[in-house]
Amino acid sequence: MSPALLSLAVCALAAAPLDDAPATELRYRGTLVQVGQDADNAAKTFTVYALVRKANEQRELVFLVEERGGGGWAWPERFGRVQLDQESAPQGKERIRLLHTHDGVQYPLELVPPLFEFAGKLEEGSTWIDGKLEYEVVGKAKRQGHDCWQVEASTNFGRNRTLWVESGTGLVVEAKQRVFMGQGDRFDLSLELESVKPLDDDQVQRVNKPVATLLKLQQDLKRKADTTRPELNDEQLKTTLAALDAVAKESAETPFADFAADITRDAREQAQRAGDVGELAKSFVGKPAPKFELQALTGQPLDPAERAGKVVLLHFWKYHDDPLTEPYGQVGYIEFLKSQMERRKLPVVVYGVAVDPRLGDDATRTATVRQVHKLIEFMNLSYPIAADEGTLLRKFGDPRRVGANLPLWMVIGADGTVLHYHAGFYDIKPDEGLKQLEAAILEAVRKQRGK
């Protein structure tokens, strides 16, 4: 559809106030472009589907984000709900956001809500302050055939965003934001209304079914706020698999059909990986550990006598991050666990194993070791770190060959038997730490002592 025809369609559909329909579908498209780059070569493009509907005598907005380029949220974070008051201001902490990866770092980027938060303040010359933003209504303007108020929002560093908000409805027709990532790299974030579609009662009933199921699934997952990792833990994966049939059936021929397919594909792939890792673990747990030697970062061997007759924890990870980003391989929890074991005088020794193929090449080893030391110093680690170009990890069953990720955690009993094998990050509660790993180590100590 041409821009002119699109503008006419949007104008005609949005002519009536949003409250006149049982629900209204809004669709937006947007771009994220680094300043100085060609606009046709956007760092990210995205779409936003928003359903404005009434719930318990109040309005709420259900949203779904689709991102292309520069990473993005996992499916549980692409979908959500924003509660609206009478002035359409979002309540609570829920926001519509992108997740963009720039120079190896993930940045959550909050989008302007489709319904302007301060519609009641829109009048000529009006100004107000909300947090660090100072708003000013600078006048009226036509945007895509809509009669809009032009609103500028500024911080102490200058103009932060410009919005064009439809008079009477508070509908955001266009928005432009400035965002900064990395070492002050500036990006322009643009959002543009693509379509407005009022729904009748039958259409609302049809779309409400998948919304209810998806919201319940999201709630049942109990994902921590700002979770950026796509991996589900065992319980979350079980919950998702159980909901797949209902999600797919109810989402068919609705705007959530593609989203349901994404959920199904991801859940089945994760289930397959979990099964493969489980089989890999079975091939080691309960059996003698492979004979191994550990080499320090200096190239010298670590004395095997230090681990003789003790429970051994091996933690395979890259042991460097550039830039340093959480969860840092969860090594901080290992350091705490080590100190607890030492305080209790338990016969346990911990080894970190830095896995990087560059450690096997004399031309790149020195620079790689320097990166490992950077993490050691940053996290103030006291347990020894061994170097491995990949040979040792392969001997212990590299989970990456079945599609899983490091870290790999292995607990070896004092008698040399593998007692615990875990690939990936542990699901951690801050007040519990590495509870599952700690339990495995304590069980190994009890076996050693014959208790």
Indicate if the pLDDT at residue 250 is higher than 80: yes
Indicate if the pLDDT at residue 29 is higher than 50: yes
What are the distances in angstroms from CA 58 to CA 61, 83, 179, 209, 213? 10, 8, 32, 19, 20
Indicate if the pLDDT at residue 30 is higher than 50: yes
pLDDT at position 371 is 93
Q: For residues 210 and 206, what is the distance between their CA atoms, to the nearest angstrom? A: 8
Confidence of residue 408 (pLDDT cuts 50, 70, 90): very high
Q: Which residues contact 72 (CB under 8 A, 6 or more apart)?
A: 44, 46, 65, 78, 98, 99, 100
Indicate if the pLDDT at residue 265 is higher than 90: yes
pLDDT at position 7 is 39
Cβ distance 145 to 116 under 8 Å? no
Query: 384, 431, 12: which is closest to 195 by C-alpha?
Result: 12
Print burial letters for 240-278: b (CB count within 10 Å at least 16), e (below 16): beebeebbbebbeebbbeebbeebbebbeebeebbebbe
pLDDT at position 6 is 38
Query: 190, 198, 187, 153: which is closest to 174 by C-alpha?
Result: 190
Q: What is the mean pLDDT of the chain?
A: 89
Work out whether the CA dihedral 203, 207, 209, 215 comes out positive or negative: negative
Confidence of residue 197 (pLDDT cuts 50, 70, 90): very high
Q: How many other C-beta atoms can be found within 10 angstroms of the C-beta atom of residue 35? A: 10
> Which residue type occupies 98?
L
What CATH number has the domain spanning 3-199?
A: 2.50.20
Place of tokens 């974030």: 189
Confidence of residue 430 (pLDDT cuts 50, 70, 90): confident
Q: What is the mean pLDDT of residues 112-122?
A: 90
Cβ distance 35 to 189 under 8 Å? no
Q: Is residue 57 classed as helix, strand or coil in its secondary structure?
A: coil
What are the distances in angstroms from CA 156 to CA 27, 133, 190, 383? 32, 8, 22, 46
pLDDT at position 431 is 77
Q: Which two tokens stand for residue 298?
A: 């200096």
pLDDT at position 451 is 62
Q: Which residues contact 243 (CB under 8 A, 6 or more apart)?
A: 213, 216, 217, 220
Q: For residues 328 and 22, what is the distance between their CA atoms, to the nearest angstrom? A: 48
CA end-to-end distance (rounded Å), the chain: 75
pLDDT at position 104 is 84
Write the pLDDT tens digit of every residue in 202-244.
Answer: 999 999 999 999 999 999 999 988 888 899 999 999 999 999 9
Q: What is the mean pLDDT of residues 162-176?
A: 94
- 162 burial class (0-12, 13-18, 19+ CB within 10 angstroms)? middle
DSSP letter string over 81-121? EEEE-TT--EESS---EEEEEETTEEEEEEPPPSB-TTGGG
pLDDT at position 85 is 59
The residue ranges of every structural domain in the chain are 3-199, 207-282, 304-448
Print burial letters for 122-152: b (CB count within 10 Å at least 16), e (below 16): beeeeeeeeeeebbebeeeeebbbbebbbbb
Q: For residues 383 and 341, what is the distance between their CA atoms, to the nearest angstrom? A: 12
Of residues 432 and 62, the one with the higher pLDDT is: 62
What are the distances in angstroms from CA 62 to CA 113, 206, 396? 11, 15, 46
Q: What is the CA radius of gyration of the chain?
A: 27
Query: 64, 169, 48, 65: which is closest to 115 by C-alpha?
Result: 169
Indicate if the pLDDT at residue 2 is higher than 50: no
Indicate if the pLDDT at residue 12 is higher than 50: no
Q: Looking at 252-290, list the stretches that DSSP marks H as alpha helix, in order from N- to C-terminal side.
A: 257-282
Indicate if the pLDDT at residue 117 is higher than 50: yes
Write the pLDDT tens digit of every residue in 104-115.
Answer: 889 999 999 999
Indicate if the pLDDT at residue 178 is higher than 50: yes
Strand 185-199 versus strand 172-181 pairing type: antiparallel
Q: Which H or E run includes 317?
A: strand 311-317
Indicate if the pLDDT at residue 4 is higher than 90: no
Q: For residues 114 and 233, what is the distance between their CA atoms, to the nearest angstrom? A: 33
pLDDT at position 1 is 39
Q: pTM of the full predicted structure?
A: 0.85
Work out whether the CA dihedral 253, 256, 262, 266 comes out positive or negative: negative
What are the distances in angstroms from CA 213 to CA 149, 271, 287? 37, 21, 44
Give the single-character DSSP code of 426. -
Fold of 304-448: Glutaredoxin (3.40.30)
Confidence of residue 429 (pLDDT cuts 50, 70, 90): confident
Write the pLDDT tens digit of every residue in 56-108.
Answer: 777 889 999 999 999 999 999 999 998 875 444 454 447 899 999 998 889 99
Measured in whole angstroms, how far is the alpha carbon of residue 350 from the centre of its chain? 30
Confidence of residue 41 (pLDDT cuts 50, 70, 90): confident
